[in-house]
Chain A
Amino acid sequence: MKGIKILERILIVIPTMLAIAMLVFVLMRVMPGDPVDKMMGESGNVSIEEIQSLKKEFNLDLPLFEQLKIFVTGIFHGDLGTSFQERRPVWNIIMEKLPATIELALGAFIFSLIIAVPIGVISAVKQNSLIDRLGMAFSFLGISAPAFWLGIILIIIFAVNLNVLPVYGRSMFASTPVHITGLYVLDSILSRNWLALKDSFLHLILPSISLGAAQASVITRILRSSMLEVLRADYVTLARTKGLSEYIVITKHALRNALIPTVTVIGLQIGTLLGGNMIIETIFGWPGLGRLVVTSIFNRDFPVIQGSVMFYALIYVTANLIVDILYTYLNPRTTL
């Protein structure tokens, strides 16, 4: 029964994606701005014939419905179209950018866990202590500080004034690892290139902190409150009366149970980390999907925007689906 339900949910993804694709297509066309004109820039002169010929090449001279038909047929054939600006298949461009975005999201995710789990647990265990108050104050700051501001401040402190971390990019030229997965840290480990590992890891620190700060704060707060709830539960009291050490009680009995609601949030946060990186990627010159979308929107590069937005939608829908499925296993009382 559960299997059928899961299959149903997976199948619903298809019409959802199609609806999103059409919505993005229409919104892009409704938005003012001419891609060919943007391509020519505010400089020099261009003949009308030249503009017409480019419009024809991009199918922009066809009626909207025809253009939509070409786009949708393309999707079913696995073809997301060709970028107006770069004249390359959109799929290739997205695949080229994706590893950078995944690596940054993973970096931010690991950073947020390293920060959030200890602070969340300690704050709950030592409720109202100085550590708790400081932890909560920091998490408040983390939520309130805009990522772009935090990014610039971190660059000024660590890259300009202290000069201990790099300002931009994923690696130095001389130490880019061999391409295996596209995730530089992983590739350097796989190719045993320790110089590249150090370099790509250092490049990852500042953007990960900037992107992960808000997530760390959210997770800290959720973990703290669920820990507080769990710590008052009977089985924790029982564990204590059994004479187990406080460390064991907290890590083995309380934290494990407090993690259930936290996991749900973490799952959804991964979607946000993958999709919420446009500004951070721009600030840190991080060549990922976020920066691609920002540039493409300004250039009215319709095929790239359509392709990338569909990709983002797929990530969100899948993340939601996985969380829902996971939840039914973690808590059998919930149904899909």
Chain B
Amino acid sequence: MIITQRRTYLNKICKKQGGKMKRLIILFLVAFLLLGIGMSVIASPKDTIVVGLKENVLSLDPANHRNRTSETVIRNIFDGLVTRGPDMKIVPEIAESWEWLDDLTCEFKIRKGITFHNGEALTAEDVAYTFNRIMKEGGMDGESSPRKGLLGPLESVEMTDDYTVVFKLSKPWTVLLKMLPHQQIVPKDYLEEVGSEEFRKHPIGAGPFKFVEGKLNERIVLERFEDYYGGSPDLPPVGVAPLKTVIFEILPESSTRVAALLGGGCDIIQNVPTVDVPRIEKNTNSTVKYSKGTRAYYLEMNLTKPPFDNLKVRKAINHAFDRELLIEMLYNGEGSVFAGPLFPYEGMFDTSLTPYKYNPELAKALLVEAGYPEGFSLVLDTEIDFKEPAEIVAGMLSEVGIDCTVRLWEWGVLKPLLLKGERTLLLNTWGSSILDPVGYVDAKFLTDGRGNYSKYSNSEVDEAIIEGAITVDPEKRKEIYKKMQKIIHDECFYIGWSVNDLTGTSANLINWEPIPDSRINLHDASFK
């Protein structure tokens, strides 16, 4: 009897506890379902744009980075003296006009009535301060700016009155204006008051959008600046931006960016992989926009190592590599083949040059002449990002008897070996956002240049590179670069091409076109 009573009592207690537990579990599950099911993406209002960036933003201080993505965000908060339109033409922005007083001096007149986001007026003093902060060693409260190199031989920037500044160069430098869109004007008084560290947390510029909040490698939110002066008169419409809110989301994984565009979470995404183009175009809510690439893709041969110390072998490689087919296969034909070292759509390109034609039979004959009738083996080095083009190149070379294997590297590991001249064949890219030889040929082809992986050294070319950078007359410059292009073309060690940039956008985005320098200028953008 007692046992039965105890058992009933025990069961009762346990059931009671179990019942409580059960109720809790059910409650939890119901809450889970209520929260999870019926998810509706909180619709972005029509005046909010979300941009998916491919990499971290490193800084919101225009002087404190050397990175295109950071500049993309910065140039919506800050304006420069001059800017570029989708056609890459330099047009005035904060500067009203400019005049070259002589080969070394350029005077800029500053537009009146421009205010920073804190209401302070922008004057010549801010302009001079901006450039001196970059040029001076330790100019950012003891730290040096990594953007000094982008100002070439600029010696000083001085204000002559409230709305006039004079730029002085130590030697002629023709690309000054082309380089200036990459520098944005900062407010002197505010910066001096709060210091660089605080400025980076709460940046204040004179651009179309003001900074609201954000973490550099997460999300950056900007809001329309209601007192904006209107931007460059050469890039209409002029006025306050139609969009109220701009959100930059950092999405390093490309499949995530594409999914975000397709799912409506992003309105613009950087760097669409070619494989995803059909998916995006099939979707009625999204589309892909193309702009001319400003990165040179290249196959570069080390001239100090056999077999590439032999011109015939180098020529054979040029004839064995079908760049048009590669562009067709990998990038749906969205790209251009180089004849010589320069982009065929830049001003200094020598139009009389033609690319080496694909001709495997000629390539084989050249290899025989060079003493390699049986071909040879070699390793093609590249980064993981260029695995596909490298494999296609290896396949093409194997057709003429060259046994080519692709080796994928992490760039930080490969670069020191390349600079020491220890590798043979490389596939990689080099950026030239201003589409001018300066900053590109001096890095790639000057003796001991920063990116001269072929170990190329030619006094005539060196001379042309140095001369070309300081020659002011465009026709003379063209002549100088023409000579350089011909020599490099004939030496056959550099096979270049470019690939158009692919940007994914929402189908109802209007008044926005990608610019070749990868900037995403949202001043004019709006939605249908």
Contacts and interface: CB of A to CB of B under 8 A. Distances in A.
Do A and B interact with each other, yes or no?
Answer: yes
Contact of B18 (A50, A173, A251, A285): A251
A198 interface: yes
Contacts of A172: 41-42
Interface in A17-41: 31-34, 37-41
Contacts of B439: 43-45
Q: How large is the interface on A (under 10, 10 to 19, 20 to 34, 35 or more residues)?
A: 35 or more
A244 interface: yes
A119 interface: no
A44 B256 contact: no
A298 B251 contact: no
A287 B250 contact: yes
A47 to B, nearest CB: 5
Contacts of A247: 18
Interface stretch (A162-170, A268-276, A325-333): A162-170
B215 A45 contact: no
A86 B450 contact: no
Contacts of A34: 412, 415-416
Interface of B is mostly: mixed
A292 interface: yes
A163 B263 contact: yes
A300 B410 CA distance: 11
Contact of B217 (A152, A248, A292): A292
A160 interface: yes
B146 A39 contact: yes
Given A45-B442, A96-B215, A167-B260, A285 B416 contact: no
A159 interface: yes
**Could you say which of A53, A87, A283 has the most chain B C-beta atoms within 10 Å of its C-beta?**
A87
B289 interface: no
A42 B413 contact: no
Given A205-B36, A248-B18, A168 B215 contact: no
Contacts of A88: 197, 200
**Could you say which of B56, B430, B439, B440 has the most chain A C-beta atoms within 10 Å of its C-beta?**
B56
Given A163-B41, A175-B42, A202-B35, A298 B412 contact: yes
A33 B416 contact: yes
B408 interface: no
A287 B214 CA distance: 12
Nearest to B64: A87
A193 to B, nearest CB: 13
A155 interface: yes
B329 interface: no
Contacts of B247: 173
Contact of B143 (A39, A57, A284): A57
Contacts of B245: 173
B416 A32 contact: yes
A202 B143 contact: no
B155 interface: no
B233 interface: no
B431 interface: yes
Contact of A168 (B11, B39, B146, B249): B249
Contact of B10 (A39, A47, A85, A244): A244
A172 B245 CA distance: 13
A181 interface: no
B260 A168 contact: yes
B156 interface: no
A174 B251 contact: no
Interface in A68-105: 85-88, 96
Interface string B323-359: 0000000000000000000000000000000000000
Contacts of B219: 169, 173, 287
Interface string A259-287: 00000000000000000000000111101
A245 interface: yes
Interface string B399-424: 00000000000111101110000000
B66 A39 contact: yes
Interface string A96-118: 10000000000000000000000
A125 interface: no
Contacts of B216: 86
Contact of A167 (B37, B56, B250, B265): B265
A198 B35 CA distance: 6
B262 interface: yes
Interface string B7-23: 10011001100100100
B256 A284 contact: yes
A44 B149 CA distance: 9
A132 interface: no
Given A168-B260, A201-B35, A202-B35, A45 B217 contact: no
B253 A43 contact: no
B28 to A, nearest CB: 9
B259 interface: yes
Contacts of B146: 39-40, 50, 54
A156 B253 CA distance: 14
A94 to B, nearest CB: 12
A202 B197 CA distance: 35
Contact of B14 (A46, A50, A173, A244): A244
B58 A85 contact: yes
A166 B265 contact: yes
A39 B58 CA distance: 10
Contacts of A243: 7, 11
Contacts of A37: 415
Contacts of A31: 412-413
Interface in B290-343: 295
A205 B36 CA distance: 8
B150 A44 contact: yes
B461 to A, nearest CB: 15
Given A44-B443, A292-B217, A54 B144 contact: yes
Given A47-B148, A300-B412, 9 more contacts: A43-B432, A44-B439, A50-B149, A87-B200, A163-B263, A168-B260, A173-B245, A202-B35, A283-B256
16 contacts: A33-B415, A34-B412, A37-B415, A42-B451, A45-B438, A54-B144, A87-B200, A155-B256, A167-B259, A172-B42, A242-B10, A244-B14, A282-B253, A287-B219, A295-B55, A300-B412
Interface of A: 31-34, 37-47, 50, 53-54, 57, 85-88, 96, 152, 155-156, 159-160, 163-170, 172-175, 195, 197-199, 201-202, 205, 242-245, 247-248, 251-252, 282-285, 287, 291-292, 295, 298, 300
Closest 7 pairs (CB-CB, A-B): A33-B412, A43-B431, A287-B218, A46-B149, A44-B439, A248-B14, A285-B251
